Amino acid sequence: LFEKMSIDWASAYNKSKTHIEWNLNETIPYHLQIVRLDGVAKTKNLIEFCVSFYDNERKSCYGSTWKSIPFQHPYVVNQDLVFHAEVVASTCIIVEAASIDDASFKKKILGWTCIKMFKNTFTNKQHDLFQGSSRAMFFLKELSTASSHLLKREGLSLILTLNQNTVVRNLKSHIPSYYLTNPLQLTKTNKSLQPTSLYLENLEVFIGNDVSKFEEQLLLLFLADAKQQNSTVRQFDKVSIKERRLKAAVHNGLKFTDQFQVAYLVENKDFNPQVLKSKGVISLLNMDIRHSVMFSLEYVVEVPISFSNIRMVSRMRQSQVHILAIKWGIWAPMSYLPTSGSLVQVPISGGPSINPEKKLVFTQSYNPGAATKDAVVSFKLVKQEGTANLNDTRSMMDVGTTPEPVDLKFRATPPPTMEVSEIPMVEQEVFSQQQRAPQQLSQGSLLPSQLSSPSHSPFPLVSENFPHLKPEVDALSEPELEKATYAKIYNAGFPDLCDADDRPALEVDLSKHYIYSPLLEKRDPKTCNTILFQFLALKLRNKNIRHVFFTIKLYRFVCGTTPILLLLPSDRPGVPSILSVYESSDRVPGYISSFKVDPSSMPGEPLNFLEFIQNGSCFIDVWDSESLFHLGGTSIQLKRLARQGEHGIQITGVYPLYNNTQIGKLHLRIANIGSLPIVTDTNDLDTSVIIDLNKPTDNGELVIKPRPLIDVDKNLAVLLSSQPVIKNIKNRKAERMEMVRKQLDSTRPIPLIDDVKRTRENQLKMIDNYRRKIQNDVIREALISNITHHHCLYNEFGSVSYFEVVLSNKSSDSEAFKITWDNTDIRLVVNNSEIRKLKNVYNLTTPFEEDLLSSPSSPADLILEGREQVYIPFAYTSTTTKDTIDNRIDITDKKNCPVNIIRLKFKQRPPILTGRYKYYEGENSFCKRSIAIPNTIRDASLLKVRCSDPDVICNISSTNEVFFKAPIGKSNQLTTFLLFLFVDDFCLKPSFIWEVEVYSLKKIEISTSVGTQITFPVILRGTESLRCVSCFSNSPTVLKVQPEREFVLMSGTIQEVELVFEPTQPGKTNYMVHVVDTKNRSIIERWMVNTTTVLPVVSKTYNIPVQVTNSPVVKTIAFTNPYATTKEFKIKANNPSLVTFKATQLSIPSHQSENIVFSLSPIAVSVPNYILIFVTDLEQKCEECFAIRVTSS
């Protein structure tokens, strides 16, 4: 029976083992295409696909999950995916289709299907869709399309294609296994730049504590932890540190592109007991500068094993080796490109944070109660552009020397790579388990934009539509500058930045470790800060730009603009140009722009400014002053500008300018000068967030100075002016004396008729009646003034301002009150959780009564018991851009008599921006864009977005991006709005504020082929007045504008402008043309030229094998004139930098042949190139096209 069971088991095993007959460690690249979805009616609903990997044996999903962008259902879908995976029969690909309602965005599953057996590829194969969700596969014993538990969707099918990958080269070097991605996106993000080799010398690691004490505590913790977890090793005679090593490897955001390189560290007790240093060099050869470098500090701990435990060791050794990860960090060279020879510092940290290796990292310091400084890796950077020699002596074999271990009998230097058998016993078991299991996506969440860096971040700018945002050269090639050149730049006579005592501000060394003390900033009496920007020099990739100006966005200030600055010519190529004011006669080098911040005038502003200095950034843009094209910009972190009690500090640095790619470098000096605040008579209104109605009002006693009634009331003045005019006092007295004399002289008495008296009596009666009429109104106004409370609050646009009103019932009986207001931006806070959070934000400890009010809108009813006092919570959110907003809140009793009146004034403060974006769109259309959410937001489901413009639609898309749709007006108009990103539930204060600028342009469509020159006329209409204008193109080598010189545009006339387009590369590209008023420096018209270029018909293709050399290679091509007469021909190439012609114009007789002689540059010879040579007539019409395929031999 035992033998029979053994035979059955053996046969069953032999039958089942055939499904794993390929090498599990080898992965094969594949290309999956979702061709079309049949059986779905064409509606407004959106279609979304979801693709995942599923292991049929382990009943689990692994790898990455890919979701398509929702789209309108066409007949042909053509969704392409590439990946590489092991050929295992148990692995399936799950494809699920869903329909998304266009109005409610509700998702409905249409069906799903599975693909098995990677080895069997197919083309345009029809797969039936099953009902329900793909979660049904978890409840099936065997996932099979023939299962009776799966019901097919009648009429629905999916056409799929699965082939070996031929779309992307070297797919395995770009992405990890089981990672699904779009080939176009992969090709775009992995577009090769010029390879750069970085050598890291003078390596030092600043631990932050004393190294000996830190290592002593580390060994004690390791010993205690090992005794609890390690059951095989019970006796530890002596534990020692064998090695200290620093590892470095290049990471492309998805996987490591190469193996780790190791530099061995030793203590530096003589100079600094907190530093570990190494004499080795880490060589990062031929890396893409857009990738990041991961540093990992590791300790190798040796544990001696007792004799009783030696038999348990797989190999006869006298000790076990444990590798402990201490700290790690990421350095992104692209975010800050230091010059060769400069000192770079990279912070490293420990703790339970996610790292690309997914290792547990040591987190406890040697003294938990003491202050621990941050750890830093510092090194000297040596940069070499171009391809490095792979046989360089400074390779991984020579990155350092192993330090002499303590208490060891032998010395071992680890090889550059370690085989499985050479891995220590503690790690071998884990390693073998990782080899057996399917490889998981370990670094899928680590993108290049998410890698933290201590240097300045790139400027988050602009549209991807225009070639002026993509310079012709992908990388800024800059030779290493000598010290004498730097001395010449910075000794050009720039004025010093001095403090209030006329002393130069303290220079801050950016290479030193920075420790910020909030206590020093709060104790500083000089709360007034003046931020100075001194523009020193500028280096641009475009050498044709001569005049520029800068715009600066800092804190709450309006965006400032510098005057036009002239780029002084330099005497040496590659040296930055000194900046000088263009209209200045004395040509003083540099320009200083100042911003004075006096936060003492507004409550709470000092703390806001200190927080801005630590976490905020300023945005600097550079513009061409002639064409008014935006060249690029940068964002500069200001945390090193904290004065820490100093009178003034300054920093000098070189900041890269970005516009999709790096376009240059700006030499800038920034200073912070402190001064005492200016004591001014600020607003006397109360600015606290507690409005106590029990306090007396600020109106005081009602004191009225006697004045003529006609000056007090205009209505009474109009009434009295209709009565007869009373003569002046002097004439009236003279007339009375004359009448007295006549009465004395005459014997008969003269009756005295005084008309003035009658007039006076009538006026007095009128005044008395008017007084009785307005008496009630005057008394009412006086009483209302006595119960009116004036209050002032400062509000930040986009944030919620919270205030409480203290209301008391002064009677002993219950009383009903009604609260009304007219501004819809004011609301009552009725959510108990929101009230608690607002009180916590404003540090309020006032009493809180739950469910005090039921409705947040006006009017609100409230009943108070006798002698009861409550705190009514209010919130205000501004939706207007006015500086001051006046509001009124009325509180009345049950008889509708006013009890209290609150005159509330909100003074609005401008927001502090955290990002700026510029886009360009055609006129009278909609700008639809998506912006990636910040890396600091880990859970995108908590994110909420609002816009300052009610006409702009914004939301969080399914791809976790901020989507907005903004209406665009007529041409040459600027649409500006703010996007507020909230991470809290109640949207109290935005965590991120983005400013979006959309420029509207007129659209022009042009289609042609490569090598053909086309002229397109455009009509330019005159303005109301005469203008002197010039036309500029953002790419004059491809798109020219005629006339090229300045011309006069008459008012009310029409001028024809010609666009000459001569493309050199196929594809769709957008260009931009500006029509600029040369006197007023304003843009009259903007044109967006959308071009579509196709490849011409190639007459003949030549394969030219050449040898790699440093000199040009001369070649010839024969060309025959097919015409019956002698004709002139022009010769040109699609890439003039690679090909030089001996003669660019040939005169060939009829039916005769001539040789086209050209030379290939060394760059064209060193790497394979595909060059097109065009033969055109004198009118630039393409006659012939030859293709040259250059291969190096």
pLDDT tens sequence across 287-339: 777 788 899 999 988 876 554 443 333 333 445 778 888 888 888 887 665 66
Task: For residue 840, give the H/E element and its range.
Answer: helix 832-841
CB neighbour class for 840 (10 Å; exposed up to 12, middle 13-18, buried from 19): exposed
Residue 587 tokens, joined: 């040509």
Closest to 488 in 3D by CA, of 574, 582, 575:
575
Q: CA–CA separation, 724 vs 71, rounded Å?
A: 85
Beta strands in 88-144 (DSSP E): 91-100, 107-116, 122-130
Count of CA atoms in the C-beta half-sphere (13 A) of 1183: 17
Residue 47 tokens, joined: 């279609």
Residues ≥6 apart with Cβ < 8 Å to 356:
251, 256, 294, 442, 443, 446
Residue ranges of alpha helices (H) inside 1105-1189 are 1162-1166
What is the pLDDT, as a whole number, of residue 703? 58
Residues ≥6 apart with Cβ < 8 Å to 540:
567, 631, 657, 663, 664
Question: Rounded to 5 degrees, what are φ and ψ at 19?
Answer: -80, -5
What is the pLDDT, as a whole number, of residue 621? 95
**Crossing angle of the two packed helices 714-721 and 755-786, in degrees rounded to 10:** 170
What is the pLDDT, as a whole number, of residue 553? 94
Angstrom CA distances, 1189 to 1009, 1138, 1161, 1166, stand at 20, 12, 14, 13
Q: CA–CA separation, 897 vs 890, rounded Å?
A: 10
Residue 27 tokens, joined: 């992965």
On whether the CB atoms of residues 682 and 545 are closer than 8 A, the answer is no
Q: Measured in whole angstroms, how far is the alpha carbon of residue 682 from the centre of its chain?
A: 38
**SS3 of residue 1068 by DSSP:** strand
Residue 1112 tokens, joined: 């040009």
Residue 538 tokens, joined: 């500028």
Angstrom CA distances, 628 to 330, 548, 590, 1085, 1086, stand at 38, 9, 21, 12, 11
**SS3 of residue 715 by DSSP:** helix
What is the pLDDT, as a whole number, of residue 175? 81
On whether the CB atoms of residues 689 and 803 are closer than 8 A, the answer is yes
**SS3 of residue 992 by DSSP:** strand
Please state the length of the chain. 1193
Residue 496 tokens, joined: 């010093």
On whether the CB atoms of residues 1043 and 1033 are closer than 8 A, the answer is no
Q: CA–CA separation, 539 vs 542, rounded Å?
A: 9
Closest to 394 in 3D by CA, of 557, 203, 231, 576:
203
Residues ≥6 apart with Cβ < 8 Å to 476:
337, 541, 656, 662, 663, 664, 665
On whether the CB atoms of residues 901 and 817 are closer than 8 A, the answer is no
Parts of the chain with a pLDDT under 50: 1-24, 231-236, 307-318, 366-372, 387-481, 681-682, 752
Q: CA–CA separation, 878 vs 948, rounded Å?
A: 9
Task: For residue 533, give the H/E element and its range.
Answer: strand 528-540
Q: CA–CA separation, 878 vs 797, rounded Å?
A: 6
Give the CA angle between residues 270, 273, 274 to the nearest 5°: 145
Closest to 167 in 3D by CA, of 84, 93, 87:
84
